[in-house]
Structure 1
Amino acid sequence: MSSKYKSIKEECYQANMELNALGLVVYTFGNVSAVDRENGVFAIKPSGVPYEELKPEDMVIVDFDNHIIEGKLRPSSDTKTHAYLYKNWEDIGGVAHTHAKFSCAWAQSQLDIPIFGTTHADHLTADIPCAPPMSDELIQGNYEHNTGIQILDCFKDKNISHKEVEMVLIGNHGPFTWGKNAAKAVYNSKVLEVVAEMAYLTLQINPKAPRLKDSLIKKHYDRKHGKDAYYGQ
Protein backbone atom coordinates (compact mmCIF):
# COMPACT_ATOMS: atom_id res chain seq x y z
CA MET A 1 0.00 0.00 0.00
CA SER A 2 1.35 3.41 -0.97
CA SER A 3 2.67 5.23 2.08
CA LYS A 4 1.38 8.48 0.57
CA TYR A 5 -2.24 7.39 1.03
CA LYS A 6 -1.87 4.91 3.88
CA SER A 7 -3.40 7.25 6.47
CA ILE A 8 -6.63 8.04 4.62
CA LYS A 9 -7.03 4.44 3.48
CA GLU A 10 -6.85 3.33 7.11
CA GLU A 11 -9.25 6.10 8.19
CA CYS A 12 -11.67 5.13 5.44
CA TYR A 13 -11.43 1.42 6.26
CA GLN A 14 -12.08 1.95 9.97
CA ALA A 15 -15.07 4.19 9.23
CA ASN A 16 -16.60 1.61 6.90
CA MET A 17 -16.09 -1.10 9.51
CA GLU A 18 -17.87 1.08 12.07
CA LEU A 19 -20.75 1.70 9.67
CA ASN A 20 -21.24 -2.04 9.43
CA ALA A 21 -20.75 -2.64 13.17
CA LEU A 22 -23.48 -0.10 13.95
CA GLY A 23 -25.96 -1.99 11.77
CA LEU A 24 -26.40 0.89 9.33
CA VAL A 25 -25.79 -1.07 6.13
CA VAL A 26 -27.45 -3.95 4.30
CA TYR A 27 -25.06 -6.58 2.89
CA THR A 28 -22.58 -4.63 0.70
CA PHE A 29 -24.70 -1.46 0.49
CA GLY A 30 -23.44 1.74 2.07
CA ASN A 31 -20.10 3.52 1.97
CA VAL A 32 -17.85 6.02 3.72
CA SER A 33 -15.07 8.14 2.27
CA ALA A 34 -12.22 10.12 3.85
CA VAL A 35 -10.60 13.13 2.19
CA ASP A 36 -6.97 14.23 1.83
CA ARG A 37 -7.24 17.93 1.01
CA GLU A 38 -3.48 18.40 0.66
CA ASN A 39 -3.31 15.92 -2.20
CA GLY A 40 -6.78 16.66 -3.60
CA VAL A 41 -8.04 13.08 -3.28
CA PHE A 42 -10.26 10.88 -1.14
CA ALA A 43 -10.37 7.22 -0.17
CA ILE A 44 -13.62 5.33 -0.62
CA LYS A 45 -14.91 1.78 -0.17
CA PRO A 46 -14.76 -0.44 -3.27
CA SER A 47 -18.08 -1.37 -4.86
CA GLY A 48 -19.88 -4.56 -3.87
CA VAL A 49 -17.21 -6.07 -1.60
CA PRO A 50 -18.55 -7.72 1.60
CA TYR A 51 -17.45 -5.85 4.70
CA GLU A 52 -15.89 -8.94 6.27
CA GLU A 53 -13.57 -9.26 3.26
CA LEU A 54 -12.41 -5.64 3.19
CA LYS A 55 -8.84 -4.62 4.01
CA PRO A 56 -7.35 -1.13 4.34
CA GLU A 57 -5.42 -1.58 1.09
CA ASP A 58 -8.69 -2.26 -0.76
CA MET A 59 -9.81 1.35 -0.33
CA VAL A 60 -9.75 3.19 -3.65
CA ILE A 61 -8.10 6.61 -4.04
CA VAL A 62 -10.04 8.98 -6.30
CA ASP A 63 -9.63 12.67 -7.14
CA PHE A 64 -12.43 15.24 -7.12
CA ASP A 65 -12.97 14.74 -10.85
CA ASN A 66 -13.59 11.01 -10.33
CA HIS A 67 -10.29 9.75 -11.72
CA ILE A 68 -8.92 6.67 -9.97
CA ILE A 69 -5.49 7.55 -8.61
CA GLU A 70 -4.73 4.30 -6.83
CA GLY A 71 -6.54 0.99 -6.39
CA LYS A 72 -7.18 -2.28 -8.19
CA LEU A 73 -10.93 -2.39 -7.46
CA ARG A 74 -13.79 -0.27 -8.75
CA PRO A 75 -14.83 2.43 -6.29
CA SER A 76 -18.31 2.69 -4.81
CA SER A 77 -21.10 3.45 -7.27
CA ASP A 78 -21.78 6.57 -5.17
CA THR A 79 -18.27 7.95 -5.69
CA LYS A 80 -19.40 10.82 -7.93
CA THR A 81 -21.76 12.06 -5.21
CA HIS A 82 -18.92 12.09 -2.67
CA ALA A 83 -16.64 13.87 -5.15
CA TYR A 84 -19.25 16.56 -5.84
CA LEU A 85 -19.73 17.25 -2.13
CA TYR A 86 -15.97 17.46 -1.49
CA LYS A 87 -15.49 19.76 -4.46
CA ASN A 88 -18.25 22.15 -3.38
CA TRP A 89 -17.97 21.98 0.41
CA GLU A 90 -14.27 22.45 1.03
CA ASP A 91 -14.55 22.25 4.82
CA ILE A 92 -15.84 18.66 5.08
CA GLY A 93 -13.49 15.72 5.65
CA GLY A 94 -15.74 12.66 5.42
CA VAL A 95 -18.98 11.54 3.74
CA ALA A 96 -21.17 8.53 4.54
CA HIS A 97 -24.14 6.94 2.79
CA THR A 98 -26.26 4.17 4.32
CA HIS A 99 -29.38 2.15 3.68
CA ALA A 100 -30.43 2.24 7.34
CA LYS A 101 -34.07 1.23 7.85
CA PHE A 102 -35.71 4.25 9.46
CA SER A 103 -33.62 6.82 7.60
CA CYS A 104 -34.60 5.19 4.30
CA ALA A 105 -38.25 4.96 5.36
CA TRP A 106 -38.35 8.72 5.92
CA ALA A 107 -36.59 9.28 2.58
CA GLN A 108 -39.19 7.09 0.90
CA SER A 109 -41.93 9.13 2.54
CA GLN A 110 -40.39 12.27 0.97
CA LEU A 111 -40.78 14.12 4.27
CA ASP A 112 -38.40 16.12 6.43
CA ILE A 113 -37.87 14.61 9.89
CA PRO A 114 -39.48 17.05 12.37
CA ILE A 115 -37.60 18.11 15.47
CA PHE A 116 -39.74 16.48 18.15
CA GLY A 117 -37.34 16.02 21.05
CA THR A 118 -34.16 16.95 22.82
CA THR A 119 -32.12 14.09 21.31
CA HIS A 120 -32.64 15.75 17.94
CA ALA A 121 -31.92 19.21 19.41
CA ASP A 122 -28.69 17.97 20.99
CA HIS A 123 -27.31 17.69 17.47
CA LEU A 124 -29.09 20.26 15.31
CA THR A 125 -31.70 22.98 15.54
CA ALA A 126 -33.65 22.24 12.36
CA ASP A 127 -35.74 19.50 10.83
CA ILE A 128 -33.62 16.98 8.92
CA PRO A 129 -34.24 17.91 5.28
CA CYS A 130 -35.47 15.56 2.60
CA ALA A 131 -34.49 16.53 -0.94
CA PRO A 132 -37.31 16.02 -3.45
CA PRO A 133 -37.00 13.09 -5.86
CA MET A 134 -34.74 13.72 -8.83
CA SER A 135 -36.29 14.74 -12.15
CA ASP A 136 -36.43 12.20 -14.98
CA GLU A 137 -33.92 14.27 -16.95
CA LEU A 138 -31.36 14.12 -14.14
CA ILE A 139 -32.02 10.42 -13.49
CA GLN A 140 -31.28 9.61 -17.12
CA GLY A 141 -28.14 11.75 -17.05
CA ASN A 142 -25.07 11.53 -14.81
CA TYR A 143 -27.11 10.09 -11.94
CA GLU A 144 -24.60 9.91 -9.08
CA HIS A 145 -23.09 13.31 -9.95
CA ASN A 146 -26.58 14.74 -10.12
CA THR A 147 -27.33 13.36 -6.65
CA GLY A 148 -24.67 15.75 -5.39
CA ILE A 149 -26.41 18.60 -7.22
CA GLN A 150 -29.70 17.44 -5.69
CA ILE A 151 -28.21 17.75 -2.19
CA LEU A 152 -26.77 21.23 -2.73
CA ASP A 153 -29.99 22.44 -4.35
CA CYS A 154 -31.98 21.18 -1.35
CA PHE A 155 -29.81 23.14 1.09
CA LYS A 156 -30.03 26.24 -1.08
CA ASP A 157 -33.82 26.00 -1.49
CA LYS A 158 -34.38 25.43 2.23
CA ASN A 159 -31.77 28.07 3.19
CA ILE A 160 -29.86 25.60 5.37
CA SER A 161 -26.13 25.56 6.08
CA HIS A 162 -24.30 22.26 5.60
CA LYS A 163 -22.08 23.32 8.52
CA GLU A 164 -25.06 23.31 10.88
CA VAL A 165 -27.01 20.40 9.39
CA GLU A 166 -24.59 17.60 8.51
CA MET A 167 -27.18 15.22 7.12
CA VAL A 168 -29.83 14.94 4.42
CA LEU A 169 -32.35 12.47 3.07
CA ILE A 170 -32.62 11.92 -0.69
CA GLY A 171 -36.26 11.43 -1.62
CA ASN A 172 -37.02 7.76 -2.41
CA HIS A 173 -33.35 6.88 -1.89
CA GLY A 174 -31.71 7.28 1.50
CA PRO A 175 -29.42 9.33 3.73
CA PHE A 176 -26.10 11.05 3.23
CA THR A 177 -24.12 12.53 6.11
CA TRP A 178 -20.80 14.34 6.41
CA GLY A 179 -18.48 15.84 8.99
CA LYS A 180 -14.98 17.05 9.79
CA ASN A 181 -13.69 13.51 9.17
CA ALA A 182 -14.95 10.06 8.23
CA ALA A 183 -15.61 9.09 11.85
CA LYS A 184 -17.87 12.13 12.35
CA ALA A 185 -19.76 11.28 9.15
CA VAL A 186 -20.45 7.80 10.57
CA TYR A 187 -21.43 9.30 13.93
CA ASN A 188 -23.93 11.52 12.13
CA SER A 189 -25.33 8.51 10.26
CA LYS A 190 -26.07 6.77 13.56
CA VAL A 191 -27.61 9.92 15.05
CA LEU A 192 -29.79 10.32 11.98
CA GLU A 193 -31.00 6.71 12.20
CA VAL A 194 -31.84 7.00 15.91
CA VAL A 195 -33.67 10.31 15.44
CA ALA A 196 -35.54 8.89 12.43
CA GLU A 197 -36.74 5.92 14.50
CA MET A 198 -37.75 8.15 17.43
CA ALA A 199 -39.72 10.45 15.11
CA TYR A 200 -41.49 7.49 13.53
CA LEU A 201 -42.47 6.07 16.91
CA THR A 202 -43.57 9.49 18.13
CA LEU A 203 -46.03 9.80 15.25
CA GLN A 204 -47.33 6.27 15.87
CA ILE A 205 -48.09 7.17 19.49
CA ASN A 206 -49.44 10.63 18.70
CA PRO A 207 -49.98 11.57 15.03
CA LYS A 208 -50.52 15.16 16.17
CA ALA A 209 -47.37 15.38 18.29
CA PRO A 210 -46.12 18.99 18.45
CA ARG A 211 -42.64 20.09 17.46
CA LEU A 212 -40.19 20.77 20.25
CA LYS A 213 -40.59 24.36 21.44
CA ASP A 214 -37.90 26.85 20.48
CA SER A 215 -36.65 27.45 24.03
CA LEU A 216 -35.85 23.74 24.48
CA ILE A 217 -34.24 23.51 21.04
CA LYS A 218 -31.95 26.42 21.90
CA LYS A 219 -31.17 25.15 25.40
CA HIS A 220 -30.21 21.65 24.35
CA TYR A 221 -28.20 22.72 21.32
CA ASP A 222 -26.36 25.53 23.10
CA ARG A 223 -25.35 23.45 26.11
CA LYS A 224 -23.41 21.20 23.74
CA HIS A 225 -22.41 23.57 20.95
CA GLY A 226 -22.92 27.18 22.11
CA LYS A 227 -20.20 29.59 23.25
CA ASP A 228 -20.96 28.74 26.89
CA ALA A 229 -21.35 24.98 26.32
CA TYR A 230 -21.04 22.92 29.49
CA TYR A 231 -21.79 19.36 28.33
CA GLY A 232 -18.90 16.91 28.64
CA GLN A 233 -15.42 17.22 30.10
Structure 2
Amino acid sequence: MSRSAFASLRDEVLAANLRIPATGPATLTWGNVSGVDREAGVFVIKPSGVPYDRLRAEHLVVALDDGRVVEGELRPSTDTETHRSLYRAFPSIGGVTHIHAPHAVAFAQARRPIPVLGTTHADTFDGPVPVTEPLSAEQCAADYEFNTGQVIVELLGGDGERARTVPAALVAHHGPFTWGADADASLEHAVICEAVAEMALHTLSLGAARPPQHLLDRHFTRKHGAGAYDGNPGAV
Protein backbone atom coordinates (compact mmCIF):
# COMPACT_ATOMS: atom_id res chain seq x y z
CA MET A 1 0.00 0.00 0.00
CA SER A 2 1.60 3.24 -1.11
CA ARG A 3 1.04 6.73 0.20
CA SER A 4 0.86 8.05 -3.38
CA ALA A 5 -2.19 5.86 -4.02
CA PHE A 6 -3.80 7.28 -0.90
CA ALA A 7 -3.01 10.83 -2.06
CA SER A 8 -4.71 10.25 -5.39
CA LEU A 9 -7.78 8.76 -3.76
CA ARG A 10 -7.86 11.57 -1.18
CA ASP A 11 -7.91 14.13 -4.03
CA GLU A 12 -10.77 12.30 -5.74
CA VAL A 13 -12.83 12.04 -2.55
CA LEU A 14 -12.09 15.63 -1.56
CA ALA A 15 -13.30 16.92 -4.93
CA ALA A 16 -16.53 14.93 -4.63
CA ASN A 17 -17.20 16.16 -1.10
CA LEU A 18 -16.57 19.77 -2.12
CA ARG A 19 -19.20 19.39 -4.84
CA ILE A 20 -21.91 18.69 -2.25
CA PRO A 21 -22.60 22.34 -1.34
CA ALA A 22 -22.15 23.38 -4.97
CA THR A 23 -24.89 21.00 -6.12
CA GLY A 24 -27.17 22.04 -3.27
CA PRO A 25 -28.73 18.83 -1.93
CA ALA A 26 -27.31 18.95 1.63
CA THR A 27 -27.68 21.17 4.68
CA LEU A 28 -24.74 22.16 6.92
CA THR A 29 -22.44 19.10 7.09
CA TRP A 30 -25.23 16.56 6.48
CA GLY A 31 -23.47 14.62 3.78
CA ASN A 32 -20.40 12.56 3.03
CA VAL A 33 -18.72 10.87 0.10
CA SER A 34 -16.19 8.05 0.15
CA GLY A 35 -14.08 6.28 -2.44
CA VAL A 36 -12.39 2.89 -2.40
CA ASP A 37 -9.09 1.52 -3.70
CA ARG A 38 -9.79 -2.20 -4.03
CA GLU A 39 -6.21 -3.14 -4.83
CA ALA A 40 -4.85 -1.36 -1.76
CA GLY A 41 -7.72 -2.55 0.42
CA VAL A 42 -8.58 0.93 1.71
CA PHE A 43 -11.31 3.51 1.44
CA VAL A 44 -11.20 7.26 2.07
CA ILE A 45 -14.06 9.16 3.69
CA LYS A 46 -14.90 12.65 4.93
CA PRO A 47 -14.24 13.31 8.62
CA SER A 48 -17.19 13.86 10.93
CA GLY A 49 -18.62 17.36 11.24
CA VAL A 50 -16.00 19.32 9.27
CA PRO A 51 -17.62 22.13 7.22
CA TYR A 52 -17.08 21.81 3.49
CA ASP A 53 -15.49 25.25 3.20
CA ARG A 54 -12.76 24.16 5.64
CA LEU A 55 -12.25 20.65 4.30
CA ARG A 56 -8.75 19.79 3.07
CA ALA A 57 -7.22 16.59 1.70
CA GLU A 58 -5.24 16.03 4.89
CA HIS A 59 -8.49 16.00 6.89
CA LEU A 60 -9.81 12.94 5.05
CA VAL A 61 -9.62 9.60 6.82
CA VAL A 62 -8.11 6.46 5.28
CA ALA A 63 -9.49 3.18 6.60
CA LEU A 64 -8.77 -0.46 5.84
CA ASP A 65 -11.53 -2.69 4.57
CA ASP A 66 -11.85 -4.11 8.08
CA GLY A 67 -12.66 -0.61 9.39
CA ARG A 68 -9.35 0.24 11.09
CA VAL A 69 -8.13 3.78 10.46
CA VAL A 70 -4.61 3.91 9.03
CA GLU A 71 -4.30 7.61 8.18
CA GLY A 72 -6.00 10.74 9.46
CA GLU A 73 -6.07 12.61 12.74
CA LEU A 74 -9.82 13.29 12.80
CA ARG A 75 -12.72 10.99 13.53
CA PRO A 76 -14.27 9.64 10.32
CA SER A 77 -17.90 10.22 9.41
CA THR A 78 -20.37 8.46 11.67
CA ASP A 79 -21.62 6.76 8.48
CA THR A 80 -18.24 5.11 7.84
CA GLU A 81 -19.41 1.63 8.80
CA THR A 82 -22.39 1.93 6.46
CA HIS A 83 -20.05 2.75 3.57
CA ARG A 84 -17.84 -0.20 4.55
CA SER A 85 -20.84 -2.51 4.64
CA LEU A 86 -21.77 -1.54 1.08
CA TYR A 87 -18.20 -1.91 -0.20
CA ARG A 88 -18.00 -5.40 1.26
CA ALA A 89 -21.32 -6.47 -0.25
CA PHE A 90 -20.97 -4.93 -3.72
CA PRO A 91 -17.45 -5.42 -5.16
CA SER A 92 -18.27 -3.50 -8.35
CA ILE A 93 -18.83 -0.13 -6.65
CA GLY A 94 -16.05 2.42 -6.21
CA GLY A 95 -17.75 5.24 -4.32
CA VAL A 96 -20.60 5.82 -1.86
CA THR A 97 -22.52 8.99 -1.03
CA HIS A 98 -24.97 9.73 1.77
CA ILE A 99 -26.75 13.08 1.76
CA HIS A 100 -29.78 14.22 3.75
CA ALA A 101 -31.36 15.72 0.65
CA PRO A 102 -34.87 16.85 1.67
CA HIS A 103 -37.08 15.38 -1.05
CA ALA A 104 -35.42 11.97 -1.01
CA VAL A 105 -35.49 12.02 2.80
CA ALA A 106 -39.24 12.74 2.64
CA PHE A 107 -39.78 9.48 0.74
CA ALA A 108 -37.52 7.63 3.21
CA GLN A 109 -39.39 9.05 6.20
CA ALA A 110 -42.71 8.07 4.62
CA ARG A 111 -41.26 4.61 3.87
CA ARG A 112 -42.23 4.95 0.23
CA PRO A 113 -40.02 4.13 -2.75
CA ILE A 114 -39.41 6.87 -5.29
CA PRO A 115 -41.62 5.75 -8.19
CA VAL A 116 -40.70 5.83 -11.86
CA LEU A 117 -42.96 8.54 -13.25
CA GLY A 118 -40.99 9.64 -16.30
CA THR A 119 -37.95 9.32 -18.48
CA THR A 120 -35.72 11.50 -16.30
CA HIS A 121 -35.88 8.85 -13.60
CA ALA A 122 -35.46 6.01 -16.12
CA ASP A 123 -32.29 7.56 -17.55
CA THR A 124 -30.44 6.50 -14.38
CA PHE A 125 -32.56 4.08 -12.36
CA ASP A 126 -34.02 0.92 -13.90
CA GLY A 127 -36.98 0.88 -11.56
CA PRO A 128 -38.14 2.63 -8.39
CA VAL A 129 -35.56 3.71 -5.83
CA PRO A 130 -36.47 1.19 -3.13
CA VAL A 131 -36.86 1.70 0.61
CA THR A 132 -35.60 -0.67 3.30
CA GLU A 133 -37.41 -2.16 6.24
CA PRO A 134 -36.86 -0.22 9.49
CA LEU A 135 -33.91 -1.38 11.57
CA SER A 136 -34.86 -3.54 14.53
CA ALA A 137 -34.11 -2.62 18.13
CA GLU A 138 -31.31 -5.17 18.09
CA GLN A 139 -29.80 -3.72 14.91
CA CYS A 140 -29.86 -0.24 16.45
CA ALA A 141 -28.41 -1.39 19.78
CA ALA A 142 -25.25 -2.98 18.33
CA ASP A 143 -23.33 -2.17 15.14
CA TYR A 144 -26.01 0.33 14.14
CA GLU A 145 -24.12 1.98 11.29
CA PHE A 146 -22.92 -1.32 9.81
CA ASN A 147 -26.46 -2.70 10.05
CA THR A 148 -27.73 0.36 8.21
CA GLY A 149 -25.71 -0.89 5.25
CA GLN A 150 -26.87 -4.45 5.80
CA VAL A 151 -30.56 -3.57 5.45
CA ILE A 152 -29.68 -2.07 2.05
CA VAL A 153 -27.83 -5.26 1.10
CA GLU A 154 -30.81 -7.38 2.18
CA LEU A 155 -33.14 -5.14 0.19
CA LEU A 156 -31.14 -5.33 -3.04
CA GLY A 157 -29.88 -8.91 -2.80
CA GLY A 158 -26.38 -10.19 -2.33
CA ASP A 159 -25.53 -10.78 -6.01
CA GLY A 160 -25.20 -7.05 -6.67
CA GLU A 161 -27.17 -7.05 -9.93
CA ARG A 162 -29.94 -4.77 -8.69
CA ALA A 163 -27.32 -2.50 -7.12
CA ARG A 164 -25.82 -2.03 -10.60
CA THR A 165 -29.08 -1.04 -12.29
CA VAL A 166 -30.57 0.96 -9.39
CA PRO A 167 -27.54 2.62 -7.72
CA ALA A 168 -29.52 4.04 -4.80
CA ALA A 169 -31.65 3.01 -1.85
CA LEU A 170 -33.61 4.78 0.86
CA VAL A 171 -33.06 3.68 4.45
CA ALA A 172 -36.43 3.83 6.20
CA HIS A 173 -36.86 6.94 8.39
CA HIS A 174 -33.29 7.97 7.54
CA GLY A 175 -32.41 8.91 3.96
CA PRO A 176 -30.75 7.96 0.68
CA PHE A 177 -27.47 6.18 0.06
CA THR A 178 -26.12 6.10 -3.48
CA TRP A 179 -23.08 4.53 -5.12
CA GLY A 180 -21.23 4.38 -8.40
CA ALA A 181 -18.04 3.49 -10.21
CA ASP A 182 -16.11 6.10 -8.20
CA ALA A 183 -16.71 8.83 -5.64
CA ASP A 184 -17.83 11.37 -8.23
CA ALA A 185 -20.31 8.96 -9.84
CA SER A 186 -21.82 8.16 -6.45
CA LEU A 187 -22.37 11.88 -5.82
CA GLU A 188 -23.89 12.31 -9.27
CA HIS A 189 -26.38 9.56 -8.46
CA ALA A 190 -27.21 11.31 -5.17
CA VAL A 191 -27.95 14.55 -7.02
CA ILE A 192 -30.11 12.70 -9.55
CA CYS A 193 -31.91 10.81 -6.78
CA GLU A 194 -32.84 14.10 -5.10
CA ALA A 195 -33.94 15.65 -8.40
CA VAL A 196 -36.24 12.76 -9.34
CA ALA A 197 -37.62 12.65 -5.78
CA GLU A 198 -38.60 16.32 -6.08
CA MET A 199 -40.13 15.73 -9.51
CA ALA A 200 -42.04 12.72 -8.17
CA LEU A 201 -43.52 14.71 -5.29
CA HIS A 202 -44.75 17.40 -7.71
CA THR A 203 -46.08 14.80 -10.13
CA LEU A 204 -47.90 12.86 -7.42
CA SER A 205 -49.54 16.08 -6.23
CA LEU A 206 -50.97 16.55 -9.73
CA GLY A 207 -52.09 12.96 -10.13
CA ALA A 208 -49.63 10.60 -11.77
CA ALA A 209 -50.09 8.10 -14.57
CA ARG A 210 -47.33 5.51 -14.96
CA PRO A 211 -45.47 5.83 -18.27
CA PRO A 212 -45.38 2.81 -20.60
CA GLN A 213 -42.64 0.35 -19.71
CA HIS A 214 -41.23 0.27 -23.24
CA LEU A 215 -40.51 4.01 -23.02
CA LEU A 216 -38.76 3.63 -19.64
CA ASP A 217 -36.74 0.67 -20.92
CA ARG A 218 -35.63 2.64 -23.97
CA HIS A 219 -34.34 5.51 -21.87
CA PHE A 220 -32.40 3.24 -19.53
CA THR A 221 -30.82 1.10 -22.25
CA ARG A 222 -29.71 4.03 -24.40
CA LYS A 223 -27.45 5.09 -21.50
CA HIS A 224 -26.54 1.72 -19.97
CA GLY A 225 -25.44 -1.68 -21.20
CA ALA A 226 -23.87 -3.03 -24.35
CA GLY A 227 -26.10 -1.06 -26.70
CA ALA A 228 -25.76 2.32 -24.99
CA TYR A 229 -25.26 5.26 -27.34
CA ASP A 230 -25.93 8.38 -25.24
CA GLY A 231 -23.01 10.74 -24.63
CA ASN A 232 -19.40 10.74 -25.79
CA PRO A 233 -17.25 8.86 -23.25
CA GLY A 234 -13.69 10.16 -23.12
CA ALA A 235 -14.48 13.34 -25.07
CA VAL A 236 -14.03 15.60 -22.01
Q: TM-score range by the shorter chain?
A: over 0.9
- C-alpha contact 1:33 1:44 (8 A) present in aligned 2: yes
1:141 pairs with 2:158: no
Gaps of 5+ in 2: none
Letter paired with 2:230: Y
Aligned residues: 229
Q: Which amino acid aligns with 1:232?
A: G
**Aligned to 2:188, what secondary structure does the other structure show?**
helix
CA RMSD of aligned residues (A): 1.5
Question: What residue in structure 2 maps to residue 98 of structure 1?
Answer: 99
1:217 maps onto 2:202 in alignment: no
The one-letter amino acid paired with 1:150 is V
Question: 2:195 matched to which residue of 1?
Answer: 194
Rounded Cα–Cα distance in structure 2 between residues aligned with 1:102 and 1:73: 31
Contact 1:92 1:181 in 2 (8 A): yes
Q: What is aligned with 1:20?
A: 21
* Cα deviation code 1:206-225 (max 9, x no counterpart): 1xx22221111111112222
TM-score, normalization by structure 1? 0.94
Query: In the TM superposition, what is the alpha-carbon distance from 1:4 to its structure 2 partner?
Result: 4.0
Deviations 1:34-91 (A, max 9, x none): 1111110001000011111100111100112110010000000000011111112111
Q: Secondary structure at the match of 1:224?
A: coil
Which residue number corresponds to residue 119 of structure 2? 118
User: In structure 2, the residue corresponding to 1:198 is in which secondary structure?
Assistant: helix
Q: CA deviation at 1:160?
A: 6.3
Structure 2 distance, partners of 1:160, 1:181, is 17
- Over 4 Å off, 4+ runs: none
Matching of residue 169 in structure 1 with residue 175 in structure 2 = no
Q: Distance in 1 between matches of 2:95 and 2:225?
A: 23
Contact 1:168 1:175 in 2 (8 A): yes
What is the SS of the residue equivalent to 2:162?
Answer: coil
Task: Give distance in 2, aligned partners of 1:228 and 1:3.
Answer: 37
Look up the match of 2:60: 59
Alignment of 1:47 with 2:48, yes or no, is yes
Is the deviation greater in 210-219 or in 197-206?
210-219
Q: Are the aligned partners of 1:80 and 1:144 in contact in 2 as well (CA < 8 Å)?
A: yes
**Counterpart of 2:85?**
84
TM-score, normalised via structure 2 length: 0.93
Offset of 1:229 from its aligned partner? Answer: 2.7
Equivalent residues of 1:64, 1:84 under 8 A apart:
no
